[in-house]
């Protein structure tokens, strides 16, 4: 699976968000909004899930966007156009259920914006009114602003440091919208992707306002086809596998504390291998 195109989308304070386009005709033909692939950079690499940001059926390519956070994403970020990924499989997980319900509020935090984009596009194309909230640490790490503007009726931007848009968090912008004068039509939906604390905060806010909220989870996976159960999450007291039952779940039913813990299972090893490679000090 060859890397067809690559671009550094954002870079600030040592953080990089990278976009790669991969040649894979079969996945491009089958991919739907909300689905992901599992990939290996090289033969020794970990298998990691990444959301399919867009698929070009004609060209036979899929686009993935990731932030260099752990060892594998840093390794992936070092790969260049023309290089082959060892493995890419998909599309995996359930596609987003796209329907016309009226108002959709889409919230993307950090690299999560990349995952919100295909869903926002699909909801917009289905005839919904889309309100988008984009959050980033700082202006230079904000991605896909133009793309999201093209598929949104309204866009709100917040940055942690106030370098762009309003200073604050996505929940501040969300609260303002929800408490504002223009009440949402019944059937309104919030769709959020970002760091776990962000999704958790969004969830507790929308619970207050009684608005159905869907989040897409980034759990640790190995095979990503239901075989290992590494990605299990508790949803309304029941164990589900994020890879085959998700990756999207009703935010109100998620056991967020368990999810937070489970995503830290390999923090020590991650630090160790990153240090060995000189990726971190």
Residues 139-178 that bind another protein (CB under 8 A): none
Q: Which two tokens stand for residue 101?
A: 């319900």
Per CB under 8 A, 253 contacts another protein: no
Among 17, 88, 155, 205, binds another protein (CB under 8 A): 88
Burial class of residue 14 in the structure, from the number of CB atoms within 10 Å of its CB (0-12 exposed, 13-18 middle, 19+ buried): exposed
Q: Which is nearer to another protein, 19 or 47 (CB)?
A: 47
Q: Which two tokens stand for residue 92?
A: 């995996």
Q: How many CB atoms lie within 10 A of CB 122?
A: 21
Per CB under 8 A, 40 contacts another protein: yes
Residues 195-224 that bind another protein (CB under 8 A): 222-223
Per CB under 8 A, 229 contacts another protein: yes
Q: How many CB atoms lie within 10 A of CB 2?
A: 13
Q: Which two tokens stand for residue 5?
A: 């195109």
Q: CB 38 → another protein: shortest distance, Å?
A: 9
Phi, psi of 38 (to 5 degrees): -115, 135
- What SS3 state is found at 25? helix
Per CB under 8 A, 84 contacts another protein: no
* Residues of the shown chain interacting with another protein in the complex, contacts defined by CB under 8 A: 1, 26-27, 30, 40, 44-47, 71-72, 75, 86-92, 222-223, 225-230, 232-234, 239, 241, 244, 255, 257-258, 260-262, 264-266, 269-270, 272-273, 276
């Amino acid at each position: 699976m060859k890397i067809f195109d690559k671009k550094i989308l954002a870079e600030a304070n040592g953080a990089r968000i990278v976009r790669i386009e991969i040649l894979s005709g079969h996945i491009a033909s089958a991919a739907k909004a909300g689905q992901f692939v599992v990939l290996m950079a090289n033969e020794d690499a970990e298998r990691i899930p990444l959301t399919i940001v867009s698929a070009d059926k004609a060209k036979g390519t899929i686009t993935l966007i990731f932030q260099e956070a752990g060892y594998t994403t840093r390794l992936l970020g070092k790969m260049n156009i023309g290089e082959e990924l060892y493995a890419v499989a998909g599309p995996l997980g359930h596609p987003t259920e796209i329907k016309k319900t009226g108002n959709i509020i889409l919230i993307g935090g950090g690299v999560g914006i990349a995952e919100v984009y295909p869903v926002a596009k699909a909801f917009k194309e289905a005839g919904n009114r889309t309100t988008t909230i984009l959050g980033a640490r700082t202006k230079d790490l904000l991605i896909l602003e133009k793309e999201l503007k093209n598929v949104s009726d309204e866009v709100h931007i917040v940055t942690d440091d106030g370098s762009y848009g309003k200073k604050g968090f996505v929940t501040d912008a969300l609260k303002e919208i929800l408490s504002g004068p223009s009440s949402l039509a019944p059937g309104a939906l919030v769709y959020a992707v970002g760091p776990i604390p962000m999704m958790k905060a969004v969830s507790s806010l929308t619970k207050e306002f009684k608005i159905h909220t869907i989040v897409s989870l980034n759990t640790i996976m190995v095979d990503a086809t239901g075989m290992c159960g590494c990605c299990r999450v508790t949803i309304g007291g029941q164990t589900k596998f994020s890879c085959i039952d998700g990756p999207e779940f009703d935010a109100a039913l998620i056991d967020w504390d368990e999810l937070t813990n489970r995503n830290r299972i390999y923090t020590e090893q991650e630090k160790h291998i990153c240090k060995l490679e000189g990726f971190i000090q």
